[in-house]
Structures are given as structure tokens and as C-alpha cells.
Structure 1
Amino acid sequence: MERPVPVSIVVNPRQRQFEALTRAHAGDLYRYAYWLCKQDALAQDLVQETLLRAWKALDALREADAAKPWLLTILRREHARVHERKPMDTVELDDNLAEDAAWASPERHGDAAELREAMSKLPHKYREPLLLQVLGGMSCEEIAAELGQQPGAVMTQLFRARQKLKSILQGGGPEVQLGLS
């Protein structure tokens, strides 16, 4: 009786690098994508497209420390591409539909939901840098480079974003919620 020949799987260094990159940053990419689009399926698609583009351009990544901002940049651009394409058809759903338990997630209830709602009320110019810092773990300099702004302007936006967020969470008036103050 013949014994089966063991098959060894050859994994090249590039593939190992990409797998390590994916394991290290997939969770952060998903969270950031979900914050951008607020849809689970679309967030997952964005992460997949991001990783596909990252795989194709992996040789462009020079330093491992730059991987997270690089991936977040790819994800932001993928999100923008979604909106460049033709608008998707929408269907109005009855507001009286009960929320299915399968759709319930901890982020839709409690403090996380309140924080998400408050952040959605921030003007885009304040929300984006705050998300890049909080979810992306990016420094002011990295955010400034990403957004094409000066670091001082980003620091000001982050300060104002936190002040407006605090005011919204404490029940600030509509002028704060609309970013008019």
C-alpha cells in the first residue's frame, strides 16, 4: 500500500507580510468603514476591496509602521469610489417594523449608539479628523498629510470636534448640533 506524499505549501514572504498586515488591521479597517457608511455589508465590502487593492500595491508599502495609515487611505478612497458610481436604488421601509434580533448589535444600543448619533451630527470637517484619530490611531501630522492640511489646522479641528461632541452629548442647543457656534 502506497503512502500519500506529504504536500508542503510554499508561502512566499510577500504573502506572509500581507497575512500579517491583514490580521493586524482588519478589525480597525472594518470599524472605520462602518463609521463611514453605517452599513455592515457595505463596510465588509469596503474592507475586502481595500485589502484587494493593498495586495496589488503591497510593494509600494516601504515601512511597516506606515501600514495602518496606508490602509485607511485606501479605504477612504474606496468609500469615495462607492459614491462616485451611479446611485443605488432605495426602497422605503415601514418604520413600524420590529428590529430583528439578528440585526441587533451592541453598537446600536446604549452609550455606543448615543456616541455614534452625536458624532453623526458633527460637521464633516470636524468628524473626519476625529474619526481618523480615534478609529485610525493616526497622529495630527498623519491626518494633516491625509487631508492635505496643516497640522495646526488639524489640531484646531480636533479640539473643536471634541468641544462640539461634548456639547451635543450634554444636550447642547441646535446651534451647536448644526455647527453654527
Structure 2
Amino acid sequence: MFNKNKRNKSAVPQVSTNMATKQVRYEALVKALHGDLYRYAYWLTHDKQVAEDLVQETFLRAWRALDSLQDEKAAKSWLITILRRENARRFERKRFDMSEYEEASIMDTQSTSAEQNIDNDWLRDKIAKLPPEYSEPLVLQVLGGYSGDDIAKLLNLNKNTVMTRLFRARHQLKDALEKEPDKTRLIYER
């Protein structure tokens, strides 16, 4: 009986230490990757509230499974995968009425000029009009900073397929740019 009590007393500080370590890891993930996850969630949903909810649910699931994250370098990919699955669950749970929406601007912390805002809106609109198989890899590369290999793993695709889709997405954006000479002039004057 004496040994049993002794073992329980020594286990309590160890559990507290493990929880504190988990909390520190979790807070570091949130601090480092919250902005990236929010931008990606907003791109997926086009709705600030839904994007915030997705990110919150992503971090909640990450907290629950944090012990399964062995490689800290893979944290961003791991969280993006959780976020994508959460977004898919959204559509499994509900059927949404499809309606036209006006995309709100996401502003970086830096102030931008009116011309830059117009160009950003134009580019955001053109990317949104790309087929999803082209826009998603492009957004992951541009917003997420992922390599072709990383995107292939996230989307469960062959790397060559990802690279082809990225090429085609850029080519479609280039064609759209060439069809609007005013945009070409604005972009190249800078």
C-alpha cells in the first residue's frame, strides 16, 4: 500500500510537467501558424466568420492530437490537412444555399495604396475563377509557401500533377492579364 501511494504522488508532477510541455508546444503552434491558417481558411470559405471557426476547430483538433505530431517541421502541413478535413466536414454536416457573395478584403498589417488594393482584388477575383484543381495548389504555393512536394502530399497527388496544375494556373492568369492591357500597364509600371 505504501508503494502504491508513493507511485501516485510521483505521477502527479509528471502529468503536470507533460501538460505544461504540451501547452507550450500548442501555444507556439498557434502563435507561429495562426495567420497562415486563417488566410488559407478564408481563401477556402470566402467568409471571415467561417474562416475563424475553421481555424478554431483546427486548433482544437490539433490540441487533442498534439502528441501524434512527431516532427515540428511538419506542423504547418499537419495543420493545413486538419483544416482541409474540417472544411470538408462542414459540407458533410450541412447543405448550404449557394448564392452570390461579395468577397471581403483581407488586409495585411502593412498599409497598401488604392492602386495596389485594386490590383489585389483583380488578382483575387481571377484566382477565384480558376477551376479548384488549379487554384488550390496555386494558393497553397503563394499563401502557404509550400513546395511542389509539400502540395503533392497535402492534396494526395503526384508531384508532376501538381507542377502541371501550377503551370496551367499561372498560364491562365497570364492570359487574363494580357486580355486587360490596363492591368498589364499598372503592374509593370511599378
Which one of the candidate residues 158, 163, 166 is aligned to 1:158?
A: 166
1:12-91 equivalent positions in 2, closer than 5 A: 12-88=20-96
Match of 1:123 in 2: 131
What stretches of structure 1 of length at least 5 have no aligned partner?
Answer: 1-9, 96-102, 173-181
Give 1:91 deviation, angstroms: 8.2
Give 1:104 deviation, angstroms: 6.7
Q: Deviations over 1:133-174 (max 9, x none)?
A: 1122211111111222111111111111111112123327xx
Q: Which amino acid aligns with 1:50?
A: T
Give 1:16 deviation, angstroms: 0.3
Aligned identity (percent) is 51
CA distance 1:156–1:104, shift in 2 (3 Å): closer
More helix by share: 2
Deviates more, 1:33-42 or 1:143-152: 143-152
CA distance 1:115–1:104, shift in 2 (3 Å): closer
Q: Which amino acid aligns with 1:57?
A: A
Size of the aligned set, in residue pairs, is 155
2:148 matches 1:140: yes
**3-state DSSP class of the match of 2:157?**
coil
Q: Which amino acid aligns with 1:12?
A: A
**3-state DSSP class of the match of 1:136?**
coil
Aligned-pair Cα RMSD in Å: 2.5
* Structure of higher CA gyration radius: 2
- Residues 69 and 136 of structure 1 are in contact (CA less than 8 Å); yes or no, is this contact kept in structure 2? no
What stretches of structure 2 of length at least 5 have no aligned partner?
Answer: 1-16, 109-116, 181-190
Q: Report runs of 4+ in structure 1 exceeding 2 Å deviation.
A: 88-93, 103-107, 169-172
Q: Which amino acid aligns with 1:30?
A: Y
Give 1:89 deviation, angstroms: 5.5
**3-state DSSP class of the match of 1:62?**
coil
TM-score normalised by length of structure 1: 0.77
Q: Which amino acid aligns with 2:177?
A: L
- Residues 105 and 121 of structure 2 are in contact (CA less than 8 Å); yes or no, is this contact kept in structure 1? no
- Residues 30 and 59 of structure 2 are in contact (CA less than 8 Å); yes or no, is this contact kept in structure 1? yes
CA distance 1:105–1:54, shift in 2 (3 Å): closer
Counterpart CA distance in 1 for 2:162 and 2:53 is 29
Q: Which amino acid aligns with 1:146?
A: L
Q: Which amino acid aligns with 1:155?
A: M
1:159-174 equivalent positions in 2, closer than 5 A: 159-171=167-179
